[in-house]
Structure 1
């Protein structure tokens, strides 16, 4: 059978894969779930969709565990009991991280009852990700992974009846265009959110444009990435007067008792409905009846709702309002069926301000260390999954998956909009970091086992170590070893060049490549900025060993040897001390003279990226004009940053790298690096910035930035990426969707920078900065790029967190953060685009370094039989429902028109792509892998702006399916993400 797999007819292949991997519906679909379970609207009336729901943050003021055992378990317990009482009742649930926990605790009888509630449409899920993720600081790989995780659980447990029909992003602080595009590609029919800028909302209310069609990717096109999107009237909680769980007056319908109020409550309800419906276009109105962690006493809510529905509907003739239990998906279907014409939005919803002085742009940078930790953990997660698949570890049992799962869950939880966003309390941030750390510890043996399996060398890899604090030159392994091997695993689908920087205890070493040839290397003393980091306590390293690792194989590895040597030995490293050039203790501050500026420009290859800081406004939050800078809000006291006085300039000159060290203060240290040409066509400079402990007093916080001055004429325009993928054009003091009244020059011009920010000049010149984590950035002045690095605040901003942002290091003082940027200038837009795309891909998927004492048998290996085309990347390679079934995602890295060659469609063959197995058959899935693409049918919407043809799209997809079925080839168009379940045969 396996040998004839490619020849199996499509319908048989689908059935085969369904049994193997259950990646689509796992059981017959009941006719009463999905849209079939929706109440029938009443024509000619105002149809009010009463939507009971709860919003359960996966960590914020308490940890995820605390929220679960204090509150969430009781919500699900009581909701289920109340749904079983009355078949008309409905409830919507979102956060699968909680539902998964609760489900495991239920008896078989309770699980059967819950399945029936899902089958008959009473219990519905919205979004269905592991968490309701942030949209500013998240990376697209993490967004996809956490949705795949949640939706996979729902599909396994409830089949297609458990599939959410709409996305529910009601609490994040701004909304990303790329996130919306991915929601469309996951198959959602609608998206709802609770927050948009106050100026935008005012205009939309006046013009009845609170709902629209979001055209979320011009590259992939319409209708594939068109998404019906709606702004909830006033957030996601109940209307005023109808929050019965928190003490609002209930419906009292017994005339024999005092306080009989049916007429009063009906009038209050109808008046509220009539007010709200004035800002929407259809005959339908959705009322969200729930809020944070509500329904711990579901009986109270549902009993009163039953009375309210009955009272309103008994008086419909008087007010023409009909109300019934509903869900966001049922509301979406009802609105769709009216076949109205909708306006189109093609920009995004950043930045988000809720009044004239409260722009939620501080969280783009808040908890910078956690943001970096999430990024590095995600990269390790991808590498572990890749190697486990390539090695076929699942053939030996489920241990590998069980070891990987804690990291999968930890990363799914931290994507939450009060997780990686940095808007959680300090104890919760610690909890997120602990979960990630434990997850990495659990998953690392899988990497060791996979490499041992791939190379047949368990002796070497069983002792492989990692150094998680190498960025601060702390590595216990190199503290105690002077002759060792370095294993560089490259998760990228192409060979990469890597500049290694290894903490060492000596000055002289010989570095040998996989062929035993000496590699040019250089040792540099650990700089003063790093030496002051308190987490280095106990470190013995005195130097950093720097060398180039050339062309690490695609999805593979190279092994180098490092051995201590005597000075003058053949191939020995060059020791390059840090030499003081200008300034010094007792010499006073350095003046900004032309001599110093010329020297810096000569030795860094650019203008000087300078450090500065804003003072955060210490308001009391009593009114908008007194809003304090906090974990969410960025609000500088002055719109011009405070400048440091440069104290010292030092230099390092060597064969691998030249460095310029700038001491701005005892808490701000900067190292600019210019690398020698190592054969890599993608050259760049590096800027390492060590910030902290930031001085603090009771009245003043500080927001630390770096400014790059390119001298380009950028015409108030700059560009940032959205979640690591499509690029967004930004114009200072401007919004594409409405006439902006700018009230905060800095905060109102800050945008998320998940991976890159750049400016262009009309002649094609470009200047780019690539970040190592998500940060906030802008171009406050023409020719400049400004990025916020680290921040502390003196006050809370009164948005619910209840504590100021004041992170502490291991010594109890302010946290020290080390940030690294890559930056480069280009003379043409096409060369700049190639550099940005390739380096951003490398930046996220950095090589993983393993430290070994035993010499590995295999020094160089690739998991691909040949590198993929330069514009194609394997996003996901993961085990899926059995040892011979895998989940494979591919992406096109470029947008339309970015590069004359690399922005073109590209075709790849799947069959013999990987080195350890053949792909025998494939079926294409939705982006989140919970539907077969061929059967995915999304609602189509009429729009005021012409889009693509649904028929043309269907025809193109049919061609792609034939291409996949007949010869296992896949064509990727610009920005396209394609997901497959594949059947493999190991070699």
Structure 2
């Protein structure tokens, strides 16, 4: 029986004679084995179940306890020590038995055997010293048990598998989700755990994307004065670190302890503050004070971080209601492009909505002043503020007469109908296709156990509802604020008839785009902002959207932000609700032959279709339980907070939605960044030109435009050689190299024109281009692209060619392909 032992980090590998190569296909996952309990002594306890659970919590082995004392590690051990010999032999037998069991899961004699678990490498020296002895001992007895073992990395394992030259069956695009460690333990709760942190992390990532591209444009091809490049790079590095740190598997997943989550939040906030400061210093030359509450006027710079022209509406909170807005040329902005209304959260403040068109990777500057009274005529030029239309409270469950008492809100693309009898949404009419889809929305809650003695519990990882979701409100109040630029529908949900404060709210906005402006992305979306919380303990809140689409209870969602996965509803005898939840990283949709309803989110959530024509999104969770792990490490979700997630709804024919969904998702993720400063005389000097705008083809997205500032060689081999030699002086950051990463947004055959290869022109003054791995670490010429033998396709097709070949301008990118280049 062959064996290959591999740690995903500092791994273990080995070879032996196969004992049955025609075993079953690769299982759905492999765990990092570690025990649920440890026994002190020379060797740790190694229970080794006959079929080890894929859960990290129930595997067979750990080395956290002392196999050797610290003194023995330093002085070695006596090979004649018979007690030690028999202990080592027993552990070898258990480990080899487990490896042979796992070998039945693999197609080749090379076995992937991950080693380690959370909190088990706090004493790394002890861990590896113990494992070193065991591996040497196993390899001494290869002739008897047929197993060899060695440390390795993932590349070592896949090299061995590829060299085996087996013929593989191609699995389709489906992923392996959802994961369950037992029928009652569906790991679908972490899709939503710590929703506030998930939202902050995504906003921080978007701000980093904007700051990186703005700094690169400022530096390339030459710096344009202030700020100091070294200082600027250090500010970006702070947010780079915070955004990278929160990608840890026990961070963005929401499965970390409370104090660790607080640390992530602190680091993200600090990083965002310094990058805001950097962007302010670039666009305002560092001479302005930050905007304050007593300011009599503001300078607003609106930066578009996308590499195509965007027409959108930005909003600013002001302390005055009469405004005069001029652009960077000194011309007044048309009142048709402005709307002022009272703030719903801050009664003494006002919200200014402003329509703007910004070219790719460029910014627009505006001067915003309170309108002064004309001394000669005693008049003030005002923008008329819309007045809310208020509707009476409606109790839940009141029957609605069909097509009666409907209120409509219309823009150029959609008409949203609201039912006055329920104060809920009734339907949406897609004006271009002429199709009307019945749509209503409401908040519901899943109740969960908190005491393990009363049944399975939900925790940071798992979702285990007691029963079906129930409505958590009794009455709803509605307002409609009709403006010439934005119309807002406000729905407030109250837990009881006598409640004075609402617990949940939906703010739905439709934009009205004047003729002659780009309407595609702005008009074809219904923006919704939800106010959720604070929740009651052991409550998981969802927003369920019900339609009359004949979806067959099939949901589509993305698990990685790029590819959509088909998620048919499946019936299980146990825990069926939780086992039909899936991750929604950015988008989800349901459809029938008439229409497709798309949901786009600015952060990750759990999503499911629990009924025909339904889609529900888990918005937030508040949990407390008495699991040992929760109590020991404070792994609770007992957060009393309010969250404000933002969604965009798109409705239309499949072809149109296929075209709009990827670009609209990016427009939501990378909304314009507004830099606001107090107005002063110095602010009016806007003569400094900004770089020329960048416009990519509509099927391409500029994922990264960054100056990494590496203080080491971009040649990986040379870098390793320098590390081995050691450095005698502090290296300087290289500010001349630019990292560019592009992404083709559409899959093969997904769209008749947008799925075609896209060409990239107009990069500006580029001296040299070098294609890199997606991480930027390796030159692709140093990498080998493997071709796998498959049953239905033979030998896989060779690579499509370098997207960043400097001798082949313009550069090309193929369907759903990504490419990274150093310029």
TM-score, normalization: structure 1? 0.66
Match of 2:492 in 1: 663
Cα distance in structure 1, aligned partners of 2:483 and 2:814: 44
Give the one of 316, 319, 334 matched to 1:518: 334
Inter-CA distance 516–356: structure 2 relative to 1 (3 Å threshold): same
Alignment-derived partner of residue 443 in structure 1: 275
- Structure 1 window deviating more from structure 2 (405-414 vs 656-665): it is 656-665
Q: In the alignment, what sits opposite 1:957?
A: 801
What residue in structure 2 maps to residue 846 of structure 1? Answer: 671
5 Å matches for 1:633-712? 633-665=462-494, 666-678=502-514, 679=517, 680-682=519-521, 683=523, 684-696=525-537, 701-712=538-549
Query: In the alignment, which residue of structure 2 is the partner of 1:557?
Result: 363
Maintained 8 Å contact 1:616/1:794: no
Partners of 2:480 and 2:28 in 1: how far apart? 57
| Change over 3 Å in CA distance of 1:704–1:519 after alignment to 2 | same
Distance, in Å, in 2 between the alignment partners of 1:887 and 1:361 is 36
Deviations 1:687-730 (A, max 9, x none): 2211111133xxxx211121223321112222112332222222
Q: Secondary structure of 1:410's match?
A: helix
Whole-angstrom distance in 1 between the partners of 2:85 and 2:759: 72
CA separation of 1:333 and 1:610: change in aligned 2, threshold 3 A: same
In 2, Cα distance between equivalents of 1:965 and 1:399:
32
Say if 2:739 and 2:820, in contact at 8 Å, map to a contact too: yes
Whether 1:545 and 2:352 are equivalent positions in the alignment is yes
Aligned to 1:209: 26
- Counterparts of 1:276 and 1:479, CA distance in 2: 64
Query: How many equivalent residue pairs?
Result: 712
- Residue 763 of structure 2: aligned partner: 913
2:393 is aligned with 1:583: yes
- Residues 898, 276 of structure 1: alpha-carbon distance in 2 compared, 3 angstrom cutoff: closer
- Aligned-pair CA distance for 1:799: 6.1
2:766 aligned counterpart, secondary structure: strand
Residues 254 and 957 (structure 1), Cα distance of their counterparts in 2 relative to 1, 3 Å cut:
same
State the SS of the aligned residue for 1:840: helix
Corresponding residue of 1:602: 417
Structural mapping, 1:333-412, within 5 Å: 333-346=159-172, 347-392=174-219, 397-412=229-244
**How far did residue 354 of structure 1 move?**
1.3
Partners of 2:542 and 2:618 within 8 A in 1:
yes
- Structure 1 contact 512–519 (Cα < 8 Å) conserved: no
Could you tell me how far 1:234 is from its partner in structure 2? Answer: 4.9
Give the Å deviation of 1:397: 4.6
Please report how far the alpha carbon of residue 846 of structure 1 lies from its aligned counterpart in structure 2 after TM superposition.
Answer: 0.7
1:857/1:976 CA distance change after superposition, 3 Å? farther
Secondary structure of the structure 1 residue equivalent to 2:352? strand
**Secondary structure in 2 aligned to 1:386?**
helix
> For each residue in 1:248-289, what CA deviation from the matched residue of structure 2 results, as whole angstroms up to 9, or x when unmatched?
799996456599445544443443333332332322334444
Is the 2:362–2:693 contact (alpha carbons within 8 Å) kept by the matching residues of 1?
Answer: no
> Residues 693, 334 of structure 1: CA spacing in aligned structure 2 closer, same or farther, 3 A cutoff?
same
2: CA distance between counterparts of 1:560 and 1:592?
50
Whether the 8 Å contact between 1:796 and 1:804 is mirrored in structure 2 is no
CA distance in 1, matches of 2:668, 2:250: 24
CA contact (8 A) 1:778 1:787 kept: yes
- Residue by residue, what CA displacement relative to the aligned partner does 1:841-886 show, whole Å, maximum 9, x if unpaired? 1111110001131444449976444522222222111114533321
Alignment of 1:495 with 2:336, yes or no, is no
SS at match of 2:746: coil
Shift in Å at residue 491 of structure 1? 0.4
In structure 2, distance between residues paired with 1:212 and 1:288 = 11
Work out whether residues 242 and 249 of structure 1, in 8 Å CA contact, stay in contact via their aligned partners in 2.
no
Q: Deviations over 1:528-566 (max 9, x none)?
A: xx45xxxxxxxx8433222322x2121101123333237
Question: Which residue is 1:471 aligned to?
Answer: none
State the Cα deviation string for residues 469-498 of structure 1 (Å, max 9, x = none): xxxxxxxx4632242222110001111122
User: Which among 575, 579, 584 is matched to residue 748 of structure 1?
Assistant: 579
* Corresponding residue of 1:943: 790
Secondary structure of 1:729's aligned partner: strand
Match of 2:655 in 1: 830
Query: In structure 1, how many angstroms separate the alpha carbons of the residues matched to 2:554 and 2:171?
Result: 20
- 1: CA distance, partners of 2:123 / 2:275: 39
Partner of 1:969: 810
Counterpart check, 1:904 vs 2:761: no
- 1:789-827 per-residue CA deviation (whole Å, 9 max, x = no partner) reads 12211326666684464454xxxxx2011122111211x
In the other structure, the counterpart of 1:715 is: 552
Query: For 1:747-793, what per-residue CA distance to the aligned partner results, in whole angstroms no more than 9, with x for missing partners?
Result: 11111112111112124x11111112111112222222211112211
Secondary structure of 1:839's aligned partner: helix
Alignment CA distance shift 1:929-1:511 (3 Å):
same
Conserved in 2, the CA contact under 8 Å of 1:890 and 1:977? yes
Q: 1:573 aligns with which of 383, 407, 416?
A: 383
Contact 2:359/2:694, CA 8 A, preserved across alignment: no
Distance in 1, matches of 2:301 and 2:440, equals: 34
**Equivalent in the alignment of 1:421:** 253
In 1, distance between residues paired with 2:630 and 2:22?
26
- TM-score by length of structure 2 reads 0.78
Distance 2:600 2:312 in 1: 16
Once residues 383 and 22 of structure 2 are traced to their aligned partners in structure 1, the CA distance between those partners, rounded to angstroms, is: 67
| Aligned residues of 1:448 and 1:464 also touching (Cα < 8 A) | no
| More helix by percentage | 1
Identify the range of structure 1 (742-751 vs 258-267) with the bigger mean alpha-carbon deviation. 258-267
Conserved in 2, the CA contact under 8 Å of 1:241 and 1:249?
Answer: no
Give ranges in structure 2 of 5+ residues lacking alignment. Answer: 14-20, 31-50, 70-76, 409-415, 419-424, 429-437, 495-501, 711-733
Whole-angstrom distance in 1 between the partners of 2:152 and 2:138: 15
Tell me the distance in 1 between the aligned counterparts of 2:55 and 2:460: 22
Contact 2:301/2:366 (CA < 8 Å) preserved in 1? yes
SS in 2 for 1:207: coil
* Aligned pair partner of 2:111 in 264, 285, 289: 285
Show CA shifts across 1:216-271 (max 9, x none): xxxxxxxxxxxxxxxx9755979966534336799996456599445544443443
- Aligned pair 1:611/2:442, yes or no? yes
Change (3 A) 1:857 1:761: farther
Moved more, 403-412 or 893-902: 893-902
Contact 2:307 2:360 in 1 (8 A): yes
State the Cα distance separating 1:902 from its structure 2 match. 1.8
Call closer, same or farther: CA 1:401–1:873 in 2, change over 3 Å: same
Q: Deviations over 1:557-582 (max 9, x none)?
A: 11233332379968632212333212
| Structure 2 match to 1:769 | 599
Contact 1:732 1:780 (C-alpha < 8 Å) held by counterparts: yes
Report the more deviating stretch, 271-280 or 780-789: 271-280
Superposition deviation, residue 839 in structure 1: 1.2
- Cα distance, 1:207 vs. partner? 2.3
Q: Cα 1:580–1:596, aligned 2, differ >3 Å: closer, same or farther?
A: farther
Query: Matches of 1:485 and 1:923 in 2, distance apart?
Result: 40
Are the equivalent residues in 1 in contact too, given 2:361–2:694 (CA < 8 A)?
A: no
1:848-887 matches, within 5 Å, as: 848-852=673-677, 853-854=679-680, 855-858=683-686, 863-880=691-708, 881=710, 882-887=734-739
Closer, same or farther: CA 507–913 of 1 in aligned 2, 3 Å: same
- Contact kept? 2:701, 2:743, Cα under 8 Å: yes
Q: Specify every segment of 5 or more residues in structure 1 that has no aligned partner in the other structure, as ranges.
A: 1-44, 55-90, 93-121, 125-203, 214-231, 453-457, 466-476, 532-539, 734-739, 809-813, 983-987
Greater RCO between the two (CA within 8 Å, min separation 6)? 1
CA distance in 2, matches of 1:822, 1:901: 25
Q: How does 1:881-896 map to 2 (within 5 A)?
A: 881=710, 882-896=734-748
1:924–1:578 distance in 2 versus 1, CA, 3 Å: same
